[in-house]
Amino acid sequence: MTNRKILVTGSSRGIGRAIAAAFAGAGDRVAVHHRDNAAMAARVVAGLPGDGHVVVGADIADPAAVKAMVDEAADLLGGLDVLVNNAASYGRVAHPVVEVGYEQWQQVWRDTIDLNLIGTANVTWCAVQHMIAAGGGRIVNVSSRGAFRGEPGQPAYGASKAGLNALGQSLAVALAPHNITVAAVAPGFVETDMAASHLRGETGAAIRAQSPFGRVGRPAEIAAAVLFLASPEAEWASGAILDLNGASYLRT
């Protein structure tokens, strides 16, 4: 399981950074992707155990930049064995359907879908070409419980993650003959910088109370699940979506 070549999108902070650290700790070499903060990504790389890690950058919503970034990661690492699609946006502004104007509604949907779904699909297509050439690989998508429970304040985000789940399950079937597995994790709230504003004060207490454990997830917990789903032992989990929300939302 060691010395694999890993690309983790959105890994300059938060969950992605924890995922990059988990793979590096297992002896793998990681391409740390960022959108527009190369310095932050370089600090992540400098802190990873082992060597041979690299920084790559691209706006995931830009198809040409995506292809260049994935090809660069494969070139620098000497191939691609694992892709973790973590980069996503919750949306810059809330957009409840009864509270926003039509133009803003359209813009938020375009921006969110372009990044979270279409952009991720493009990253996946590019990575798959390298995996097929190498005889196989692993793809793990970072989804969300919002794909199942709904996100009334951020419906574009919930829909994008539901689409990501459908994409992953479609590709799990399509890519199995090529020895490529596709699985997903679906976290609830996780204690990251991006979630910090939501986790303060009374709002934070209410969020923590959603789980019977009285807390939110930790990045390392998400990373451990991703590491397993990318392992050789997890081939039979292809197509699965693993809920990681501390029993805060149970689906049937």
pLDDT tens per residue, range 49-69? 999 999 999 999 999 999 999
**Domains of the chain with bracketed CATH:** 5-244 (3.40.50.720)
Phi, psi for 217 (deg, rounded to 5): -70, 160
pLDDT tens per residue, range 134-153? 999 999 999 999 999 999 99
Q: Is 249 a catalytic residue?
A: no
Q: Which of 139, 231, 225 is nearest to 188 (CA)?
A: 225
**To the nearest whole percent, how much of the chain has pLDDT over 70?**
100
Question: Quick one: residue 14, left, alpha or beta (phi over 0 = left, psi -120 to 50 = alpha)?
Answer: left
- Decide: helix, strand or coil at residue 209: coil
Quick one: pLDDT band at residue 74, thresholds 50, 70, 90?
Answer: very high
CB 77 within 8 A of CB 5: yes
pLDDT tens per residue, range 161-190? 999 999 999 999 999 999 999 999 999 999
DSSP state of 190: B
pLDDT tens per residue, range 29-39? 999 999 999 99
Mean pLDDT of 232-250: 98
Strands 180-187, 54-57: parallel, antiparallel or unpaired by DSSP? unpaired
Mean pLDDT of 116-127: 98
Catalytic residue among 90, 102, 157, 249: 157
Q: Give the H/E segment covering residue 123.
A: helix 120-134
Sorted by sequence, the CB contacts under 8 Å of residue 29 that are 6+ apart come out as 3, 4, 5, 6, 50, 51, 52, 53, 54, 77
CB 17 within 8 A of CB 41: no
Q: Is the pLDDT of residue 252 over 90?
A: no
pLDDT at 137: 98
Phi, psi for 158 (deg, rounded to 5): -60, -45
CB 121 within 8 A of CB 165: no
